[in-house]
Amino acid sequence: MTDSPAPLPTPPTHYNTPRYGLVALVALTTVLLDQLSKGWILSTFTPGDIKPVISGLFNLTLTFNPGAAFGLWTGLSDGWRQLLLSLTVLIALAVVLFFLRQPTHRGRLSQIALAAILGGAIGNIVDRLRLGAVVDFIDIYLGSSHWPAFNIADSAICVGVAILILLPQSKTTPKNA
C-alpha cells in the first residue's frame, strides 16, 4: 500500500469570513469617541470661539458644516443639499459593506480600516440627524493658511481610506489575518 500525501490544510474559517465583531467594535468606538468629543466642544465653545493648542499650527474651534466634506455643496438650497448628502452617505455605506464581504478585504488591518470609515460616516450622520449640520472643531493651519475644520469622524474616514490605499492587496487568502 502506497502512502498518499497528506491533504493540504484548509485555511481557518476566519480567513474566509468578515470579522463582524472586530468591525462593530472599531466602528462603535469611533462613533463614541467622535460623539463624546463633539459633545465636549458643544458644551465648552460657542461658534467662532478659538482656543490655541499649538500656536501657529493647531486650534480648537466650533464650526458647523451643513455641506459635505470641506464645505462641499454648502451653496445649494437646503432640500437639494440634504438629498445629495443622503444619497452620498447611502452609497458610501453600501460601498463599505460591499468591501467588507470581499476576499481581498478580509485581513485584520483592512477590516479595521473599513470599520473606521463606517464609524466616521455614522458619527457624521448622527450630527446631521440631530443638528442638521456636522460639528467640526479641529483647525490645522500654518501662518494664515487654514485647512477646513474637521472632526474625529472625518479623521477616521481619512485614515481608513489611507490604509486601504497603502495596504498591499493580494488576490489570495490574506496571510496577515
Which member of 34, 127, 136, 139 is catalytic? 136
Q: Is 14 inside any structural domain?
A: no
Q: Is 117 inside any structural domain?
A: yes
Residue 79 has what pLDDT?
77
Question: Average pLDDT, stretch 162-172?
Answer: 79
Residue by residue, DSSP assigns 98-118 as HHHTSGGG-SHHHHHHHHHHH
Q: Is 177 inside any structural domain?
A: no
Q: Is 175 inside any structural domain?
A: no
Q: How many angstroms separate the CA atoms of 21 and 108, rounded? A: 11
Domains identified in the chain, total number = 1
Q: Is 173 inside any structural domain?
A: no
* pLDDT band for position 20 (cuts 50, 70, 90): confident
Q: Is 154 a catalytic residue?
A: yes
Q: Which structural domain range is residue 106 located in?
A: 19-166
Q: Is 136 a catalytic residue?
A: yes
Question: Average pLDDT, stretch 5-10?
Answer: 64
- Cβ pair 106, 16 in contact under 8 A: yes
Question: Average pLDDT, stretch 43-50?
Answer: 96
pTM for this model (two decimals)? 0.79
Question: Average pLDDT, stretch 105-114?
Answer: 88
List, for residues 59-72, the tens digit of each pLDDT value. Answer: 999 999 887 665 66
